[in-house]
């Protein structure tokens, strides 16, 4: 499973990308608004940090303006993916842009029927929102299972299932079990995946036991170095 970061906070993205675990980024108008920065500047910076796909959403709702915005955004960097909403005009824009070689992420998917339309429109990704479905009493992960199953029946469907609106690590684990291609995670969810109380407890015990030995891996007298540097090689 690929991990995307769902954020427009450049510093946060840069920090998480340094782990080597980040495959891409998704943004949207709400995330950019929270950053308080210029949309285009933010996208350029993110694309320079993360070589993988960076989703940038159009804000227009009618086809001509969607296409104009999508083409403008796609020209910012080679790794830009255009996000369009799962509406009639959004799917028309997806089809037109995909035919031009632009990758499209069809977002705001809430049903398997919508996901079928996205695949037929040539979407590179479809983004079902699991958390928002859970919020209204539906089963978001059931939708992921349905889409993965349907796409698996039709080899001509190349659309990747990008799990969005992820609220906690269990969403990620269960989506992975179901065979989803991508999960886009808020920074806090990815950080939460690192943590477990038994890991913290075990590390604390190891460090305590090591401290009792009074030893150091780096500063060893026999190495001829006490500043942590490597000793010089001896000549043959």
Residues acting as catalytic residues: 83
Which tokens sit at 21?
A: 């675990």
Nearest to 64 by CA among 85, 86, 101, 90: 90
Q: Where are the alpha helices (DSSP H) in 121-184?
A: 130-135, 140-153, 169-178
- Residue listed under structure tokens 């108008």: 29
49-73 residues labelled b (16+ CB within 10 A) or e (exposed): bbeebbbbbbebeebeebbebbeeb
Going by C-alpha positions, the residue among 121, 55, 65, 57 that lies closest to residue 88 is 121
Which residues partner with 58 through β-bridges? none
Work out whether the CA dihedral 24, 29, 34, 35 comes out positive or negative. positive
């Amino acid at each position: 499973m690929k991990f995307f970061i769902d954020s427009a906070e450049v510093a946060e993205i840069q920090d998480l990308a340094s782990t080597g675990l980040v495959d891409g980024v998704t943004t949207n108008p709400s995330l950019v608004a929270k950053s308080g920065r210029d949309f285009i500047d933010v996208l350029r910076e993110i694309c320079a940090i993360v070589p993988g796909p960076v989703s940038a959403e159009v804000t227009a709702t009618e086809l001509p303006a969607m296409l104009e915005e999508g083409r403008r955004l796609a020209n910012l960097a080679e790794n830009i993916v255009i996000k369009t909403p799962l509406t009639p005009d959004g799917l028309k824009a997806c089809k037109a842009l995909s035919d031009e070689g632009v990758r499209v992420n069809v977002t705001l998917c809430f049903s398997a029927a919508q996901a079928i339309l996205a695949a037929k429109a040539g979407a590179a990704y479809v983004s079902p929102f699991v958390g928002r479905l859970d919020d209204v009493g539906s089963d978001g992960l059931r939708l992921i299972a349905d889409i993965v199953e349907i796409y698996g029946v039709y080899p001509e469907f190349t659309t990747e299932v990008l799990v969005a609106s992820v609220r906690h690590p269990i969403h990620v684990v269960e989506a992975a079990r179901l065979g989803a291609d991508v999960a886009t995670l808020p920074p806090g969810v990815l950080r939460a995946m690192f943590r477990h109380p038994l890991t913290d407890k075990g590390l604390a015990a190891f460090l305590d036991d090591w401290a009792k030995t009074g030893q150091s891996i780096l500063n060893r007298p026999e190495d001829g170095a006490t500043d942590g540097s490597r000793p010089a090689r001896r000549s043959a």
